[in-house]
Chains A and B, each alone.
Chain A
Protein backbone atom coordinates (compact mmCIF):
# COMPACT_ATOMS: atom_id res chain seq x y z
CA UNK A 1 0.00 0.00 0.00
CA UNK A 2 1.45 3.26 -1.05
CA UNK A 3 0.02 5.45 1.67
CA UNK A 4 -1.30 5.03 5.13
CA UNK A 5 -2.24 8.56 5.72
CA UNK A 6 -5.47 10.02 4.52
CA UNK A 7 -4.72 12.57 1.90
CA UNK A 8 -1.06 11.74 1.74
CA UNK A 9 0.43 10.62 -1.53
CA UNK A 10 4.05 9.88 -2.29
CA UNK A 11 4.52 13.48 -3.25
CA UNK A 12 2.61 15.31 -0.64
CA UNK A 13 4.29 15.66 2.68
CA UNK A 14 2.66 13.89 5.55
CA UNK A 15 1.05 16.40 7.86
CA UNK A 16 3.08 15.52 10.91
CA UNK A 17 3.40 19.05 12.18
CA UNK A 18 1.71 17.83 15.34
CA UNK A 19 5.21 16.93 16.38
CA UNK A 20 6.42 20.47 16.05
CA UNK A 21 5.73 23.10 18.67
CA UNK A 22 2.37 24.70 18.18
CA UNK A 23 1.54 21.83 15.91
CA UNK A 24 -2.17 22.22 15.25
CA UNK A 25 -1.81 24.05 11.99
CA UNK A 26 -0.16 21.09 10.39
CA UNK A 27 -1.32 21.46 6.82
CA UNK A 28 -0.76 25.15 6.81
CA UNK A 29 2.73 24.82 8.12
CA UNK A 30 3.58 22.19 5.61
CA UNK A 31 2.39 24.32 2.79
CA UNK A 32 4.39 27.24 4.11
CA UNK A 33 7.41 25.00 4.35
CA UNK A 34 7.00 23.67 0.86
CA UNK A 35 6.52 27.06 -0.67
CA UNK A 36 9.48 28.53 1.13
CA UNK A 37 11.91 26.26 -0.57
CA UNK A 38 12.16 26.56 -4.31
CA UNK A 39 12.38 22.91 -4.93
CA UNK A 40 10.25 19.83 -5.20
CA UNK A 41 10.15 18.18 -1.83
CA UNK A 42 10.43 14.43 -2.26
CA UNK A 43 8.64 12.16 0.22
CA UNK A 44 9.77 14.17 3.17
CA UNK A 45 10.26 12.67 6.49
CA UNK A 46 8.72 15.85 7.68
CA UNK A 47 8.51 14.31 11.10
CA UNK A 48 12.09 15.27 11.60
CA UNK A 49 12.20 19.05 11.55
CA UNK A 50 15.89 19.09 10.84
CA UNK A 51 15.36 17.10 7.68
CA UNK A 52 13.48 20.11 6.36
CA UNK A 53 16.64 22.09 6.51
CA UNK A 54 18.82 19.74 4.54
CA UNK A 55 19.86 20.83 1.16
CA UNK A 56 18.44 19.21 -1.93
CA UNK A 57 21.41 16.95 -2.56
CA UNK A 58 21.04 15.35 0.83
CA UNK A 59 17.33 14.92 0.40
CA UNK A 60 17.84 13.00 -2.82
CA UNK A 61 20.20 10.69 -1.03
CA UNK A 62 17.58 10.03 1.60
CA UNK A 63 14.92 9.29 -0.97
CA UNK A 64 15.53 5.57 -1.44
CA UNK A 65 15.55 5.11 2.31
CA UNK A 66 12.40 7.13 2.71
CA UNK A 67 10.45 5.13 0.18
CA UNK A 68 11.48 1.82 1.66
CA UNK A 69 10.65 2.96 5.16
CA UNK A 70 7.30 4.17 3.98
CA UNK A 71 6.39 0.66 3.04
CA UNK A 72 7.09 -0.49 6.53
CA UNK A 73 5.05 2.35 7.74
CA UNK A 74 2.81 0.78 10.22
CA UNK A 75 2.48 3.04 13.18
CA UNK A 76 1.85 6.67 13.83
CA UNK A 77 4.70 9.15 13.60
CA UNK A 78 5.74 8.83 17.22
CA UNK A 79 6.38 5.17 16.78
CA UNK A 80 8.27 5.58 13.57
CA UNK A 81 10.48 8.23 14.97
CA UNK A 82 12.95 6.04 16.78
CA UNK A 83 13.70 4.40 13.48
CA UNK A 84 14.21 7.70 11.86
CA UNK A 85 16.30 9.31 14.53
CA UNK A 86 19.49 7.47 13.69
CA UNK A 87 19.23 8.84 10.16
CA UNK A 88 19.46 12.42 11.25
CA UNK A 89 22.42 12.52 13.58
CA UNK A 90 24.29 9.84 11.68
CA UNK A 91 25.49 11.71 8.63
CA UNK A 92 26.18 14.83 10.59
CA UNK A 93 27.91 13.10 13.43
CA UNK A 94 30.62 11.09 11.87
CA UNK A 95 31.36 13.74 9.30
CA UNK A 96 33.48 11.11 7.67
CA UNK A 97 31.05 9.19 5.52
CA UNK A 98 31.68 9.42 1.86
CA UNK A 99 28.18 10.71 1.33
CA UNK A 100 28.65 14.23 2.53
CA UNK A 101 29.64 16.97 0.20
CA UNK A 102 32.63 18.98 1.24
CA UNK A 103 30.76 22.01 2.47
CA UNK A 104 28.34 19.91 4.47
CA UNK A 105 28.00 21.24 7.93
CA UNK A 106 27.25 19.06 10.90
CA UNK A 107 24.03 19.35 12.80
CA UNK A 108 25.96 20.77 15.68
CA UNK A 109 27.39 23.56 13.56
CA UNK A 110 23.97 24.31 12.16
CA UNK A 111 22.45 24.51 15.61
CA UNK A 112 25.30 26.75 16.68
CA UNK A 113 24.63 29.13 13.79
CA UNK A 114 20.91 29.25 14.45
CA UNK A 115 21.37 29.96 18.14
CA UNK A 116 23.92 32.66 17.46
CA UNK A 117 21.55 34.31 15.03
CA UNK A 118 18.72 33.98 17.53
CA UNK A 119 20.51 36.00 20.18
CA UNK A 120 19.74 39.18 18.28
CA UNK A 121 16.03 38.66 18.89
CA UNK A 122 16.25 37.86 22.55
CA UNK A 123 15.74 41.40 23.85
CA UNK A 124 12.47 41.45 21.95
CA UNK A 125 11.14 37.91 22.33
CA UNK A 126 12.94 36.67 25.41
CA UNK A 127 14.65 33.31 25.62
CA UNK A 128 11.99 31.47 23.69
CA UNK A 129 11.37 29.42 20.65
CA UNK A 130 10.18 32.60 18.91
CA UNK A 131 13.63 34.10 19.16
CA UNK A 132 15.10 30.91 17.75
CA UNK A 133 12.56 30.93 14.92
CA UNK A 134 13.40 34.52 14.07
CA UNK A 135 17.07 33.64 14.13
CA UNK A 136 16.47 30.78 11.76
CA UNK A 137 14.60 33.10 9.45
CA UNK A 138 17.53 35.48 9.18
CA UNK A 139 19.66 32.56 8.06
CA UNK A 140 17.19 31.79 5.32
CA UNK A 141 15.91 28.68 7.02
CA UNK A 142 12.36 27.78 7.83
CA UNK A 143 10.85 28.70 11.19
CA UNK A 144 10.36 24.98 11.67
CA UNK A 145 14.02 24.97 12.63
CA UNK A 146 12.95 26.04 16.09
CA UNK A 147 11.56 22.55 16.40
CA UNK A 148 15.09 21.23 16.75
CA UNK A 149 15.28 22.79 20.16
CA UNK A 150 13.33 22.50 23.33
CA UNK A 151 10.46 24.93 23.68
CA UNK A 152 11.65 26.58 26.88
CA UNK A 153 14.72 28.11 25.29
CA UNK A 154 17.23 26.26 27.49
CA UNK A 155 19.58 25.55 24.65
CA UNK A 156 19.62 29.19 23.64
CA UNK A 157 20.58 30.27 27.14
CA UNK A 158 23.21 27.57 27.52
CA UNK A 159 24.62 28.48 24.14
CA UNK A 160 24.82 32.12 25.19
CA UNK A 161 26.53 31.30 28.46
CA UNK A 162 28.99 29.07 26.69
CA UNK A 163 29.80 31.76 24.15
CA UNK A 164 30.32 34.33 26.91
CA UNK A 165 32.66 31.97 28.69
CA UNK A 166 34.67 31.44 25.52
CA UNK A 167 34.91 35.18 24.99
CA UNK A 168 36.09 35.64 28.54
CA UNK A 169 38.72 32.94 28.07
CA UNK A 170 40.04 34.63 24.96
CA UNK A 171 40.10 37.98 26.70
CA UNK A 172 42.05 36.61 29.66
CA UNK A 173 44.43 34.80 27.37
CA UNK A 174 45.14 37.97 25.40
CA UNK A 175 45.84 39.84 28.62
CA UNK A 176 48.16 37.10 29.75
CA UNK A 177 50.09 37.26 26.47
CA UNK A 178 50.54 41.00 26.91
CA UNK A 179 51.90 40.49 30.39
CA UNK A 180 54.25 37.80 29.17
CA UNK A 181 55.52 40.03 26.39
CA UNK A 182 56.17 42.68 28.98
CA UNK A 183 53.70 45.09 27.41
CA UNK A 184 51.48 45.22 30.45
CA UNK A 185 51.83 45.07 34.18
CA UNK A 186 50.78 41.98 36.04
CA UNK A 187 47.68 42.91 38.00
CA UNK A 188 47.38 42.18 41.71
CA UNK A 189 44.98 39.34 42.36
CA UNK A 190 42.06 41.34 43.69
CA UNK A 191 42.16 43.69 40.73
CA UNK A 192 42.45 40.78 38.33
CA UNK A 193 39.45 38.97 39.79
CA UNK A 194 37.41 42.14 39.88
CA UNK A 195 38.17 42.94 36.26
CA UNK A 196 37.50 39.42 35.08
CA UNK A 197 34.14 39.16 36.81
CA UNK A 198 33.19 42.64 35.62
CA UNK A 199 34.12 41.80 32.03
CA UNK A 200 32.06 38.65 32.18
CA UNK A 201 29.03 40.35 33.70
CA UNK A 202 29.18 43.18 31.20
CA UNK A 203 28.41 40.64 28.50
CA UNK A 204 24.97 40.34 30.03
CA UNK A 205 24.13 44.00 29.63
CA UNK A 206 22.42 43.78 26.22
CA UNK A 207 20.17 41.02 27.59
CA UNK A 208 19.76 42.30 31.09
CA UNK A 209 16.00 42.74 30.84
CA UNK A 210 15.44 39.09 30.09
CA UNK A 211 18.28 37.69 32.16
CA UNK A 212 16.24 36.92 35.31
CA UNK A 213 14.10 34.68 33.14
CA UNK A 214 17.23 32.97 31.87
CA UNK A 215 18.54 32.43 35.38
CA UNK A 216 15.35 30.74 36.43
CA UNK A 217 15.47 28.45 33.42
CA UNK A 218 19.08 27.57 34.16
CA UNK A 219 18.02 26.50 37.62
CA UNK A 220 15.56 23.92 36.31
CA UNK A 221 16.68 20.50 37.51
CA UNK A 222 17.13 19.29 33.96
CA UNK A 223 19.51 22.12 33.14
CA UNK A 224 21.47 22.13 36.34
CA UNK A 225 24.23 19.71 35.28
CA UNK A 226 25.01 21.75 32.17
CA UNK A 227 24.73 25.15 33.80
CA UNK A 228 26.80 24.03 36.77
CA UNK A 229 29.43 22.64 34.43
CA UNK A 230 29.63 25.95 32.56
CA UNK A 231 29.81 27.93 35.79
CA UNK A 232 32.58 25.82 37.31
CA UNK A 233 34.67 25.84 34.16
CA UNK A 234 34.39 29.63 33.92
CA UNK A 235 35.48 30.08 37.54
CA UNK A 236 38.32 27.62 37.01
CA UNK A 237 39.42 29.59 33.95
CA UNK A 238 39.46 32.87 35.85
CA UNK A 239 41.55 31.39 38.66
CA UNK A 240 43.89 29.73 36.21
CA UNK A 241 44.65 33.00 34.49
CA UNK A 242 44.88 34.75 37.85
CA UNK A 243 47.82 32.44 38.42
CA UNK A 244 46.36 30.05 40.94
CA UNK A 245 48.62 27.06 41.34
CA UNK A 246 47.22 25.53 44.48
CA UNK A 247 47.22 21.76 44.66
CA UNK A 248 45.63 21.35 48.05
CA UNK A 249 42.26 22.13 49.54
CA UNK A 250 42.78 25.79 48.72
CA UNK A 251 41.88 24.87 45.18
CA UNK A 252 38.32 24.28 46.33
CA UNK A 253 38.15 27.16 48.77
CA UNK A 254 39.23 29.71 46.22
CA UNK A 255 36.80 28.52 43.62
CA UNK A 256 33.96 28.38 46.09
CA UNK A 257 34.66 31.94 47.20
CA UNK A 258 34.83 33.26 43.66
CA UNK A 259 31.64 31.43 42.70
CA UNK A 260 29.93 33.10 45.62
CA UNK A 261 31.22 36.50 44.57
CA UNK A 262 30.13 35.97 40.97
CA UNK A 263 26.64 34.75 41.81
CA UNK A 264 25.86 37.46 44.33
CA UNK A 265 27.16 40.16 42.01
CA UNK A 266 25.04 38.78 39.20
CA UNK A 267 21.94 38.97 41.38
CA UNK A 268 22.76 42.51 42.45
CA UNK A 269 23.15 43.42 38.80
CA UNK A 270 19.63 42.22 38.03
CA UNK A 271 18.23 44.80 40.40
CA UNK A 272 20.67 47.59 39.75
CA UNK A 273 19.28 50.71 38.16
CA UNK A 274 22.23 52.99 38.69
CA UNK A 275 23.86 54.60 35.65
CA UNK A 276 26.39 52.24 34.09
CA UNK A 277 25.77 49.69 36.83
CA UNK A 278 28.19 51.50 39.10
CA UNK A 279 26.47 50.13 42.22
CA UNK A 280 27.14 46.63 40.97
CA UNK A 281 30.82 47.26 40.35
CA UNK A 282 31.16 48.86 43.76
CA UNK A 283 29.49 45.83 45.33
CA UNK A 284 31.86 43.58 43.40
CA UNK A 285 34.89 45.51 44.59
CA UNK A 286 33.73 45.22 48.19
CA UNK A 287 33.13 41.48 47.94
CA UNK A 288 36.54 40.86 46.42
CA UNK A 289 38.14 42.97 49.14
CA UNK A 290 36.23 40.94 51.74
CA UNK A 291 37.56 37.73 50.23
CA UNK A 292 41.14 38.99 50.31
CA UNK A 293 40.72 40.13 53.89
CA UNK A 294 39.21 36.77 54.78
CA UNK A 295 42.18 34.88 53.43
CA UNK A 296 44.69 37.09 55.22
CA UNK A 297 42.65 36.79 58.40
CA UNK A 298 42.69 33.02 58.03
CA UNK A 299 46.46 32.91 57.73
CA UNK A 300 46.78 35.31 60.67
CA UNK A 301 44.57 33.06 62.77
CA UNK A 302 46.67 30.09 61.81
CA UNK A 303 49.98 31.68 62.73
CA UNK A 304 48.51 33.01 65.97
CA UNK A 305 47.28 29.54 66.78
CA UNK A 306 50.67 28.04 66.12
CA UNK A 307 52.35 30.64 68.29
CA UNK A 308 49.90 29.95 71.10
CA UNK A 309 50.55 26.20 70.91
CA UNK A 310 54.29 26.71 71.02
CA UNK A 311 53.91 29.04 73.96
CA UNK A 312 51.83 26.48 75.84
CA UNK A 313 54.32 23.69 75.12
CA UNK A 314 57.15 25.91 76.34
CA UNK A 315 55.22 26.66 79.50
CA UNK A 316 54.54 22.95 80.07
CA UNK A 317 58.19 22.00 79.65
CA UNK A 318 59.24 24.77 82.02
CA UNK A 319 56.68 23.65 84.60
CA UNK A 320 57.90 20.06 84.35
CA UNK A 321 61.50 21.17 84.77
CA UNK A 322 60.59 23.15 87.85
CA UNK A 323 58.67 20.27 89.29
CA UNK A 324 61.58 17.92 88.94
Chain B
Protein backbone atom coordinates (compact mmCIF):
# COMPACT_ATOMS: atom_id res chain seq x y z
CA UNK B 1 0.00 0.00 0.00
CA UNK B 2 1.31 3.37 -0.87
CA UNK B 3 0.89 4.52 2.70
CA UNK B 4 3.63 2.16 3.70
CA UNK B 5 6.01 4.32 1.74
CA UNK B 6 7.04 6.08 4.85
CA UNK B 7 7.56 3.72 7.78
CA UNK B 8 10.81 5.45 8.52
CA UNK B 9 9.14 8.81 8.05
CA UNK B 10 6.59 7.89 10.64
CA UNK B 11 9.33 6.75 12.91
CA UNK B 12 11.03 10.08 12.67
CA UNK B 13 7.78 12.01 13.05
CA UNK B 14 7.14 10.56 16.45
CA UNK B 15 10.65 10.72 17.75
CA UNK B 16 10.66 12.52 21.03
CA UNK B 17 10.94 16.26 20.79
CA UNK B 18 11.65 16.15 17.13
CA UNK B 19 8.53 17.19 15.36
CA UNK B 20 10.17 20.06 13.67
CA UNK B 21 9.76 20.16 9.93
CA UNK B 22 13.00 19.76 8.18
CA UNK B 23 14.71 17.52 5.76
CA UNK B 24 16.72 14.84 7.37
CA UNK B 25 16.84 11.17 6.69
CA UNK B 26 17.82 10.34 10.22
CA UNK B 27 15.43 10.95 13.06
CA UNK B 28 17.10 13.79 14.87
CA UNK B 29 16.54 13.31 18.55
CA UNK B 30 16.07 16.74 19.97
CA UNK B 31 17.43 18.20 16.78
CA UNK B 32 16.33 21.74 16.19
CA UNK B 33 14.92 22.00 19.69
CA UNK B 34 15.42 25.44 21.15
CA UNK B 35 18.04 26.06 23.81
CA UNK B 36 16.72 24.93 27.12
CA UNK B 37 17.48 27.47 29.77
CA UNK B 38 17.44 25.75 33.07
CA UNK B 39 18.11 26.70 36.61
CA UNK B 40 21.47 24.95 36.33
CA UNK B 41 23.66 25.10 33.31
CA UNK B 42 21.80 23.37 30.57
CA UNK B 43 23.56 22.08 27.53
CA UNK B 44 22.06 22.91 24.14
CA UNK B 45 20.45 19.73 23.00
CA UNK B 46 20.71 20.50 19.36
CA UNK B 47 23.34 18.68 17.35
CA UNK B 48 24.63 16.27 19.98
CA UNK B 49 24.33 12.56 19.47
CA UNK B 50 21.81 12.11 22.25
CA UNK B 51 21.70 8.30 22.44
CA UNK B 52 25.48 8.01 22.70
CA UNK B 53 25.85 10.80 25.26
CA UNK B 54 22.90 9.43 27.23
CA UNK B 55 24.56 6.06 27.55
CA UNK B 56 27.92 7.48 28.45
CA UNK B 57 26.62 9.68 31.21
CA UNK B 58 24.21 7.08 32.54
CA UNK B 59 26.82 4.36 32.86
CA UNK B 60 29.48 6.69 34.25
CA UNK B 61 27.07 7.99 36.85
CA UNK B 62 26.19 4.43 37.82
CA UNK B 63 29.88 3.55 37.96
CA UNK B 64 30.82 6.40 40.24
CA UNK B 65 27.81 5.67 42.40
CA UNK B 66 28.89 2.04 42.68
CA UNK B 67 32.50 3.01 43.42
CA UNK B 68 31.26 5.25 46.21
CA UNK B 69 29.37 2.39 47.75
CA UNK B 70 32.34 0.05 47.42
CA UNK B 71 34.57 2.41 49.33
CA UNK B 72 31.84 2.95 51.90
CA UNK B 73 31.70 -0.80 52.44
CA UNK B 74 35.46 -1.01 52.77
CA UNK B 75 35.51 1.86 55.25
CA UNK B 76 32.79 0.22 57.31
CA UNK B 77 35.14 -2.73 57.90
CA UNK B 78 38.61 -1.24 57.66
CA UNK B 79 37.88 2.34 58.65
CA UNK B 80 39.88 2.11 61.83
CA UNK B 81 42.77 0.09 60.45
CA UNK B 82 46.04 1.40 59.05
CA UNK B 83 44.72 1.65 55.51
CA UNK B 84 41.69 3.64 56.68
CA UNK B 85 43.09 7.05 55.71
CA UNK B 86 44.15 5.78 52.27
CA UNK B 87 40.70 4.39 51.53
CA UNK B 88 39.08 7.54 52.91
CA UNK B 89 41.11 9.71 50.57
CA UNK B 90 40.19 7.59 47.53
CA UNK B 91 36.58 7.66 48.64
CA UNK B 92 36.62 11.45 48.80
CA UNK B 93 37.81 11.62 45.22
CA UNK B 94 35.00 9.27 44.15
CA UNK B 95 32.52 11.53 45.90
CA UNK B 96 33.77 14.42 43.77
CA UNK B 97 33.40 12.32 40.65
CA UNK B 98 29.84 11.44 41.57
CA UNK B 99 29.01 15.07 42.20
CA UNK B 100 30.33 16.00 38.77
CA UNK B 101 28.28 13.33 37.06
CA UNK B 102 25.18 14.40 38.93
CA UNK B 103 25.66 17.85 37.45
CA UNK B 104 26.26 16.47 33.96
CA UNK B 105 23.22 14.28 34.25
CA UNK B 106 20.98 17.24 34.97
CA UNK B 107 22.62 19.40 32.31
CA UNK B 108 22.19 16.79 29.57
CA UNK B 109 18.81 15.64 30.88
CA UNK B 110 19.89 12.04 31.09
CA UNK B 111 17.84 9.40 32.82
CA UNK B 112 19.63 7.53 35.62
CA UNK B 113 19.74 3.76 35.47
CA UNK B 114 16.86 1.89 37.10
CA UNK B 115 19.36 -0.40 38.76
CA UNK B 116 20.69 2.25 41.12
CA UNK B 117 19.10 0.75 44.24
CA UNK B 118 20.64 -2.55 43.27
CA UNK B 119 24.12 -1.07 42.74
CA UNK B 120 23.68 0.64 46.09
CA UNK B 121 23.48 -2.67 47.88
CA UNK B 122 25.79 -4.67 45.60
CA UNK B 123 28.55 -2.07 45.84
CA UNK B 124 28.43 -1.97 49.60
CA UNK B 125 28.43 -5.75 49.82
CA UNK B 126 31.39 -6.01 47.47
CA UNK B 127 33.36 -3.40 49.42
CA UNK B 128 32.59 -4.91 52.80
CA UNK B 129 33.08 -8.45 51.54
CA UNK B 130 36.49 -7.73 50.06
CA UNK B 131 37.52 -5.84 53.19
CA UNK B 132 36.60 -8.86 55.32
CA UNK B 133 39.30 -10.72 53.37
CA UNK B 134 41.74 -8.33 54.94
CA UNK B 135 43.53 -5.19 53.92
CA UNK B 136 45.10 -6.89 50.94
CA UNK B 137 41.69 -8.16 49.86
CA UNK B 138 40.29 -4.65 49.91
CA UNK B 139 43.23 -3.40 47.86
CA UNK B 140 42.79 -6.25 45.39
CA UNK B 141 39.16 -5.26 44.94
CA UNK B 142 40.22 -1.68 44.39
CA UNK B 143 42.80 -2.71 41.79
CA UNK B 144 40.28 -4.87 39.91
CA UNK B 145 37.54 -2.25 39.88
CA UNK B 146 39.79 0.66 39.01
CA UNK B 147 41.37 -1.28 36.18
CA UNK B 148 37.93 -2.02 34.75
CA UNK B 149 36.88 1.57 35.08
CA UNK B 150 40.04 2.93 33.48
CA UNK B 151 39.59 0.67 30.50
CA UNK B 152 35.95 1.67 30.27
CA UNK B 153 36.77 5.37 30.36
CA UNK B 154 39.36 4.84 27.66
CA UNK B 155 36.74 3.26 25.46
CA UNK B 156 34.47 6.19 26.00
CA UNK B 157 37.21 8.66 25.19
CA UNK B 158 37.81 6.79 21.96
CA UNK B 159 34.12 6.89 21.11
CA UNK B 160 33.83 10.60 21.76
CA UNK B 161 36.94 11.41 19.78
CA UNK B 162 35.59 9.39 16.87
CA UNK B 163 32.32 11.30 17.07
CA UNK B 164 33.54 14.87 17.34
CA UNK B 165 36.31 15.97 19.69
CA UNK B 166 35.38 19.62 19.38
CA UNK B 167 31.73 19.29 20.20
CA UNK B 168 32.36 17.12 23.24
CA UNK B 169 35.46 18.92 24.47
CA UNK B 170 34.20 19.53 27.99
CA UNK B 171 32.94 16.00 28.44
CA UNK B 172 36.21 14.61 27.10
CA UNK B 173 38.16 16.71 29.55
CA UNK B 174 36.12 15.46 32.46
CA UNK B 175 36.42 11.83 31.46
CA UNK B 176 40.15 12.12 30.86
CA UNK B 177 40.72 13.65 34.26
CA UNK B 178 38.65 10.99 35.97
CA UNK B 179 40.40 8.25 34.09
CA UNK B 180 43.73 9.56 35.34
CA UNK B 181 42.48 9.63 38.91
CA UNK B 182 41.10 6.11 38.69
CA UNK B 183 44.46 5.01 37.36
CA UNK B 184 46.06 6.58 40.44
CA UNK B 185 43.74 4.59 42.68
CA UNK B 186 44.75 1.47 40.80
CA UNK B 187 48.41 2.22 41.42
CA UNK B 188 47.79 2.95 45.10
CA UNK B 189 46.09 -0.42 45.39
CA UNK B 190 49.09 -2.15 43.86
CA UNK B 191 51.44 -0.28 46.20
CA UNK B 192 49.53 -1.66 49.16
CA UNK B 193 50.24 -5.29 48.27
CA UNK B 194 47.03 -6.06 46.44
CA UNK B 195 48.78 -8.81 44.49
CA UNK B 196 49.74 -10.62 47.66
CA UNK B 197 46.10 -11.48 48.32
CA UNK B 198 45.40 -15.19 48.40
CA UNK B 199 43.57 -16.20 45.17
CA UNK B 200 44.29 -12.79 43.71
CA UNK B 201 43.78 -13.70 40.09
CA UNK B 202 40.49 -15.49 40.77
CA UNK B 203 39.21 -12.60 42.81
CA UNK B 204 40.31 -10.09 40.23
CA UNK B 205 38.71 -11.98 37.33
CA UNK B 206 35.44 -12.43 39.20
CA UNK B 207 35.22 -8.76 40.12
CA UNK B 208 36.08 -7.60 36.63
CA UNK B 209 33.44 -9.86 35.15
CA UNK B 210 30.92 -8.34 37.50
CA UNK B 211 32.03 -4.87 36.45
CA UNK B 212 31.59 -5.72 32.78
CA UNK B 213 28.07 -6.97 33.44
CA UNK B 214 27.26 -3.88 35.46
CA UNK B 215 28.50 -1.63 32.68
CA UNK B 216 26.51 -3.51 30.05
CA UNK B 217 23.29 -3.33 32.05
CA UNK B 218 23.63 0.26 33.20
CA UNK B 219 24.15 1.47 29.65
CA UNK B 220 20.87 0.00 28.59
CA UNK B 221 18.55 -0.13 31.54
What is A's interface to B at a CB cutoff of 8 Å?
19-20, 47-50, 81, 85, 88-89, 92-96, 105-109, 111-112, 147-151, 155, 158-159, 162-163, 166, 169, 173, 176-177, 180, 226, 229-230, 232-233, 236, 240, 243, 245, 247-249, 251-252
Are A247 and B102 touching (Cβ within 8 A)?
yes
Are B111 and A251 touching (Cβ within 8 A)?
yes
Which secondary structure dominates chain A's binding surface? Answer: helix
Give 14 pairs: A residue, B residue, CB < 8 Å, sorted on A: A19-B2, A85-B5, A89-B5, A95-B25, A107-B5, A147-B1, A148-B2, A162-B13, A163-B19, A169-B17, A240-B36, A245-B40, A248-B112, A249-B112
- Contacts A93-B23, A236-B109, A245-B40 hold; do A226 and B14 have CB atoms under 8 A apart? yes
List residues of chain B with CB within 8 A of the CB of A48: 2, 5
B9 proximal to A (CB < 8 A): yes
List residues of chain B with CB within 8 A of the CB of A50: 2, 5
Count of residues in B whose CB is under 8 Å from the partner chain = 38
Q: With the chains together, A20 CA to B16 CA distance in Å? A: 30
B34 proximal to A (CB < 8 A): yes
Find the B residue at minimum CB distance from A179.
Answer: B39
Are A247 and B61 touching (Cβ within 8 A)?
yes
Which chain B residues in 46-105 approach chain A with CB under 8 Å? 61, 101-102, 105
List residues of chain B with CB within 8 A of the CB of A240: 36, 38, 109
Are B112 and A112 touching (Cβ within 8 A)?
no
Are B2 and A166 touching (Cβ within 8 A)?
no
Give A161 Cβ to nearest chain B Cβ, in Å: 9
- Contacts A158-B14, A229-B14 hold; do A108 and B5 have CB atoms under 8 A apart? no
Give A54 Cβ to nearest chain B Cβ, in Å: 13
What is B's interface to A at a CB cutoff of 8 Å?
1-6, 8-10, 12-17, 19, 21-25, 34, 36-40, 61, 101-102, 105-106, 109, 111-112, 114, 116-117
Find the A residue at minimum CB distance from B4.
Answer: A85
Give B177 Cβ to nearest chain A Cβ, in Å: 20
Contact of A108 among B12, B36, B106 (CB under 8 A): B12
Contact of B116 among A94, A151, A249 (CB under 8 A): A249
Contact of B13 among A85, A95, A158, A248 (CB under 8 A): A158
Are B14 and A93 touching (Cβ within 8 A)?
no
Are B116 and A230 touching (Cβ within 8 A)?
no
Find the A residue at minimum CB distance from B21.
Answer: A109
Q: With the chains together, A49 CA to B37 CA distance in Å? A: 43
Give A13 Cβ to nearest chain B Cβ, in Å: 14
Q: With the chains together, A148 CA to B6 CA distance in Å? A: 8
